[in-house]
C-alpha cells in the first residue's frame, strides 16, 4: 500500500511541476508570440535559388480557359501604340491595326501625348488610311520646361486648338507632373497649383476627359528591402525608386495634392490612370468614387492586383461598373489575353505576364456580360465625346 502511495505521490509531484513550468512559460511569453514554426532555424542543405531562378512547376490540376480574344469589342482608353516620338508612318499605323484585329480591339485611344503639328500629322495619317475609325488621339501638356506665370492660360489655348484639330481628350498627363516638374523659382510644381486652373477649366468647358497618371505604386516610395513586394522591379529599374525624401515627395503627399485637384474642379472629368495605384486598396478607391462623381478609372498595368483578390475585385467591379474603363498601357499584343482571362473567367492560379511586377498567381474575377460590355466599350463611349461608334453595338 505504501508503495502505491509513493508512486501516486511522485506522479502528482510531476504533474504539479509540469503545470508550474507551463504557467511560468505563459507568464514570460510575449503576448501574441507564436511558438517556433517547423524548420525554423534550419538551413537548406542545397544552395537556395535566386528570386528569378525559382520557378516551381505547379502540381495543381484545375480547369484552364485561356481567352485569346475579348468576348466583346474593346476600346483601349490607355494606348501607347507607337515606339518613339518621331512622325507616325502609314505602315506603322496599319501594323498596329492588324494586331488589334486579333484581340477584338476595335478602337485605340493614343495617349502617348502629342500636340500642335505632330498631332495634326498623326491625325492625317489616321484620316487618310483605310482604317480612319480605329484610333483617336489625345493632346498633352509639356511639363519638361519650368512652369511660370501665364503657363496655364497658354496651355489652355493650345488644348482648345488641338481639340479643334481633332484631339478627343487630354492626356496621358505623366507622372513627372508632381514628381519632377518644376516652377521657374526652382520649387516642385504641385498637382493642385492654381496656375494650372485654366487647363482643367477649358477641359470642363470642352467636355473632354483628362487622363492623369499620378505617382507610381506606393511601394516605389518605400525602402528597398526584403519586405518590399516590388523589390525585384526596383532592383531592375533604378528610375522607379522614389524613397529619397530629399528628392521626391511621399506617396501620400502626391495623393493629397491629386485629390485636392479633383475636388476643386468638379465639372472636369478625370480618368485616373492605373486605378489611381489603389488597386491594392479597393476600399480607398471606392471612397474616392463616392466623394467625387467626376472620376473614372482604368485598369492599365495593375492586373496583378486585380487578379490576386478575385472575390473583392468582382464585387468592386460590380458596384462601380459605370466608373471603370479598359486600358492596357504598354502596347504588347501578346499581353492582352491575360486581361480577357482575368475579366471573363473564373480560372484559378495562372501566371501573370511579367514576373518583376508580380511573383504571385492570377485568378479570374468572372464578370457578367453586362459589366464586361461597360468595361470594354460602353463607359468609354459615354465618357468621351466624338469617339467613332460604328464598330460597336448600339
Q: Give per-residue pLDDT as tens, 47-92.
A: 999 988 998 999 999 999 999 999 999 999 999 999 766 789 999 9
Dist CA 41 CA 33 (whole Å):
16
Helix, coil or strand: residue 43: coil
Are 79 and 379 spatial neighbours (Cβ–Cβ below 8 Å)? no
Please give the radius of gyration of the chain, using alpha carbons only, rounded to the nearest integer.
27
Least confident span in 82-86, 97-101, 234-238, 377-381: 82-86
Tens digits of residue pLDDT in 121-163? 999 999 999 999 999 999 999 999 999 999 999 999 999 999 9
Are 354 and 332 spatial neighbours (Cβ–Cβ below 8 Å)? no
Q: What is the pLDDT at residue 34?
A: 67
Dist CA 293 CA 271 (whole Å):
11
Please give the DSSP secondary-structure letter assigned to residue 359: S
Dist CA 45 CA 42 (whole Å):
9
Identify the CA nearest to 266 among candidates 295, 230, 303: 295
Average pLDDT in the chain: 92
Report the predicted TM-score, pTM, of the whole model to 2 decimal places: 0.90
Please give the DSSP secondary-structure letter assigned to residue 139: B
Q: What is the pLDDT at residue 366?
A: 98
Helix, coil or strand: residue 166: coil
- Give the chain's domains with CATH numbers: 74-383 (3.20.20.140)
Are 339 and 365 spatial neighbours (Cβ–Cβ below 8 Å)? no
Identify the CA nearest to 346 among candidates 314, 301, 315: 314
Please give the DSSP secondary-structure letter assigned to residue 378: I
Tens digits of residue pLDDT in 159-184? 999 999 999 999 999 999 999 999 99
Are 149 and 178 spatial neighbours (Cβ–Cβ below 8 Å)? no
Dist CA 131 CA 206 (whole Å):
26
Are 361 and 352 spatial neighbours (Cβ–Cβ below 8 Å)? yes
Q: What is the pLDDT at residue 355?
A: 87
Q: Is the pLDDT of residue 14 over 70?
A: no
User: Could you tell me the sign of the dihedral formed by the alpha carbons of 235, 237, 242, 246, in that order?
Assistant: positive
Q: Is the pLDDT of residue 7 over 90?
A: no
Q: What is the pLDDT at residue 31?
A: 58
Q: What is the pLDDT at residue 113?
A: 78
Dist CA 45 CA 43 (whole Å):
6
Dist CA 387 CA 203 (whole Å):
16
Burial grade of 292 (CB within 10 A; 0-12, 13-18, 19 or more): middle
Q: Residues 229-265, buried b or exposed e (16+ Cβ, 10 A)?
A: ebbbbbeeeeeebbbeeeebbebebbbebbbebbeeb
Provide mean pLDDT across the span 281-295. Answer: 98
Q: Is the pLDDT of residue 250 over 80?
A: yes
**Cβ neighbours of residue 41 under 8 Å, at least 6 residues apart?**
none
Dist CA 83 CA 88 (whole Å):
9
Please give the DSSP secondary-structure letter assigned to residue 30: P
Helices (H) and strands (E) in the chain, counts: 14, 9
Are 206 and 169 spatial neighbours (Cβ–Cβ below 8 Å)? no
Provide mean pLDDT across the span 6-35. Answer: 47
User: Could you tell me the sign of the dihedral formed by the alpha carbons of 369, 374, 375, 378, in that order?
Assistant: positive
Q: What is the pLDDT at residue 389?
A: 92
Q: Is the pLDDT of residue 24 over 60?
A: no
Please give the DSSP secondary-structure letter assigned to residue 220: G
Q: What is the pLDDT at residue 215?
A: 98
Tens digits of residue pLDDT in 197-243? 999 999 999 999 999 999 999 999 999 999 999 999 999 999 999 99
Q: How far is residue 320 from each of residues 132, 201, 266, measured CA to CA in Å? A: 32, 26, 19
Percentage of the residues of the chain whose pLDDT score is greater than 70: 91
Q: Compute φ and ψ for 172, nearest 5 degrees.
A: -75, 120
Helix, coil or strand: residue 294: coil
The grid coordinates listed for 257 are: 495634392
Dist CA 325 CA 317 (whole Å):
10
Q: How far is residue 75 from each of residues 256, 305, 378, 384, 392, measured CA to CA in Å? A: 30, 21, 9, 11, 9
Amino acid at each position: 500500500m505504501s508503495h502505491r502511495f509513493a508512486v501516486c505521490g511522485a506522479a502528482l509531484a510531476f504533474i504539479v511541476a509540469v503545470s508550474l513550468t507551463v504557467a511560468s512559460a505563459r507568464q514570460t511569453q510575449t503576448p501574441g508570440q507564436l511558438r517556433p514554426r517547423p524548420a525554423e532555424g534550419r538551413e537548406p542543405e542545397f544552395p537556395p535559388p535566386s528570386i528569378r531562378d525559382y520557378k516551381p512547376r505547379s502540381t495543381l490540376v484545375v480547369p484552364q480557359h485561356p481567352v485569346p480574344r475579348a468576348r466583346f469589342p474593346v476600346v483601349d482608353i490607355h494606348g501607347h501604340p507607337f515606339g518613339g516620338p518621331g512622325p507616325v508612318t502609314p505602315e506603322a499605323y496599319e501594323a498596329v491595326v492588324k494586331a488589334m484585329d486579333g484581340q477584338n480591339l476595335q478602337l485605340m485611344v493614343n495617349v502617348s501625348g502629342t500636340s500642335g503639328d505632330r498631332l495634326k500629322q498623326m491625325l492625317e495619317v489616321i484620316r487618310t488610311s483605310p482604317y480612319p475609325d480605329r484610333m483617336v488621339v489625345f493632346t498633352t501638356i509639356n511639363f519638361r520646361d519650368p512652369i511660370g506665370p501665364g503657363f496655364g492660360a497658354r496651355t489652355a489655348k493650345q488644348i482648345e486648338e488641338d481639340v479643334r484639330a481633332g484631339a478627343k481628350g487630354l492626356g496621358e498627363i505623366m507622372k513627372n507632373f508632381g514628381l519632377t516638374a518644376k516652377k521657374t523659382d526652382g520649387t516642385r510644381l504641385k498637382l493642385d497649383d492654381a496656375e494650372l486652373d485654366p487647363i482643367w477649366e477649358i477641359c470642363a468647358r470642352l467636355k473632354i476627359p483628362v487622363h492623369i497618371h499620378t505617382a507610381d505604386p506606393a511601394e516605389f516610395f518605400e525602402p528597398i528591402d526584403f519586405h518590399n513586394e516590388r523589390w525585384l522591379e526596383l532592383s531592375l529599374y533604378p528610375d522607379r525608386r522614389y524613397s529619397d525624401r530629399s528628392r521626391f515627395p511621399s506617396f501620400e503627399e502626391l495623393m493629397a495634392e491629386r485629390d485636392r485637384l479633383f475636388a476643386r474642379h468638379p465639372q472636369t472629368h478625370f480618368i485616373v490612370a492605373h486605378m489611381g495605384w489603389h488597386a491594392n486598396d479597393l476600399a480607398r478607391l471606392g471612397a474616392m468614387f463616392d466623394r467625387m462623381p467626376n472620376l473614372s478609372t482604368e485598369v492599365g498595368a495593375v492586373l496583378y492586383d486585380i487578379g490576386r483578390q478575385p472575390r473583392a475585385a468582382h464585387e468592386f467591379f460590380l458596384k462601380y461598373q459605370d466608373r471603370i474603363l479598359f486600358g492596357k498601357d504598354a502596347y504588347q499584343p501578346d499581353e492582352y489575353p491575360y486581361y480577357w482571362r482575368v475579366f471573363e473567367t473564373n480560372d484559378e492560379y495562372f501566371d501573370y505576364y511579367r514576373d518583376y511586377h508580380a511573383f504571385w498567381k492570377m485568378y479570374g474575377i468572372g464578370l457578367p456580360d453586362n459589366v464586361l460590355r461597360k468595361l470594354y466599350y460602353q463607359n468609354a463611349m459615354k465618357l468621351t465625346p466624338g469617339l467613332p461608334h460604328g464598330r460597336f453595338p448600339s
